[in-house]
Amino acid sequence: MADAREIERIAPAEALRRQRGGAVLIDVREAHERAAGQAEGAHGIARAELEADPAAALPDRGAEVLLICQSGARSLQAAQALVAAGYRRVASVEGGTARWIADGLPVARAEEADFYDRYSRHLRLPEVGEAGQRRLQAARVALVGAGGLGSPAAFYLAAAGVGTLALADDDTVERSNLQRQILHAEARIGVPKVESARTALAALNPRTRIETLAERITAANVERLIADADVVIDGADNFPVRYLLNDACVKLGKPLVYGAVHRFEGQVSVFDAGRRRGEAPCYRCLFPEPPPPEAAPNCAEAGVLGVLPGVIGLLQATEAVKLVLGLGEPLSGRLLHFDALAMRFRETRLGADPECPICAPGRPFPGYIDYQRFCSAG
């Protein structure tokens, strides 16, 4: 490879003058970097791609080639590679695009500059990259409950770039919610939670589409909410809705990200029996019958540490993102327990119940039941 000292280095203004005189200007940064703004008229070819096959972009080895990157380091290295490949008139732009912009030279911005800028930290992860971010952008996540669990889950899913969030909650914002339900604010007390959530999430990421259902989830509307979802998140605070969601997700083949909190403890799991009959458990495999009401008081009755739903809701969002991207090992077949007072996690292995009335292999869906009565009878 040519010595870096042999490479001509030129100022951005000189590069612009030569470009207008017929020189080829190539921006060797990655696509997401170029989208935030690049020298006007520059051809975008990532350094690795250019060095792998320079003739594809520059068939004439005698042409004058100017290379630019962000600050000048990568373009200098790419210039060395081109000289070594036989190109005779190569220069690197000192200071790169940063100096080009600082000098007030003409800049072109991609139409999707917001996408590349907003998600730049995801795009730097090889496991996500642009393809993964596009999957998130195309994804639809249904979230039942815009309260303690739904608040952090929705915030981080919107921030991560999930394209559509479908939120269902029939409640309105109360002052007592604000200790843990961070989607909401003092000024929105009395507003339907789904509308309060829409306001907060739109302010965070206007690219995410928020669909709202200000209704209690029942057998009559549950399929309308989750039919087109890639992932369903259970942020409910009552057993009838949990059993209903589980049964609907098994019927429709949707992964369900479960979360629950009680006082100082919480738990998270993924129930994916609808797509993996006989391999992955459903919620009923874990809890065939609901506990009696006195054994499972809600937050209004028992209280809850305000930060606890934040921890559990974030874990639910993490599992949802992993499921959309197909990354890592989801919590399917595992129940993760969190004890906030001891700051300790522990895990319980879960197996599919071969006699489960909902998800046993070969068993037809029995239909929805009266979940209120079923849970009251527990």
Given the structure tokens 């399929």, which residue do they identify? Answer: 223
Instruction: Tell me how far apart the alpha carbons of residues 261 and 238 are, in angstroms, rounded to a whole number.
Output: 11
Instruction: Tell me how far apart the alpha carbons of residues 333 and 347 are, in angstroms, rounded to a whole number.
Output: 10
Instruction: Tell me how far apart the alpha carbons of residues 195 and 204 are, in angstroms, rounded to a whole number.
Output: 14
Q: Residue 117: its pLDDT value, please?
A: 82
pTM (two decimals): 0.77
Instruction: Tell me how far apart the alpha carbons of residues 219 and 247 are, in angstroms, rounded to a whole number.
Output: 10
- Asked if residues 60 and 76 have their Cβ atoms less than 8 Å apart, the reply is no
Residues of the chain with pLDDT under 70: 1-4, 110-111, 292-301, 377-378
Q: Residue 114: its pLDDT value, please?
A: 82
First to last CA, the chain: 76
- Asked if residues 131 and 123 have their Cβ atoms less than 8 Å apart, the reply is no
CATH of 121-377, picked from 3.40.640.10, 3.30.70.120, 3.40.190.10, 3.40.50.720, is 3.40.50.720
CATH annotation of 4-118 = 3.40.250.10
Closest CA to 146 of 133, 157, 159: 157
Helix (H, G, I), strand (E, B) or coil at 165: strand
Q: What backbone torsions phi and psi does residue 9 show, to the nearest 5 degrees?
A: -120, 130
Ranges of each domain in the chain: 4-118, 121-377
Q: Residue 51: its pLDDT value, please?
A: 95
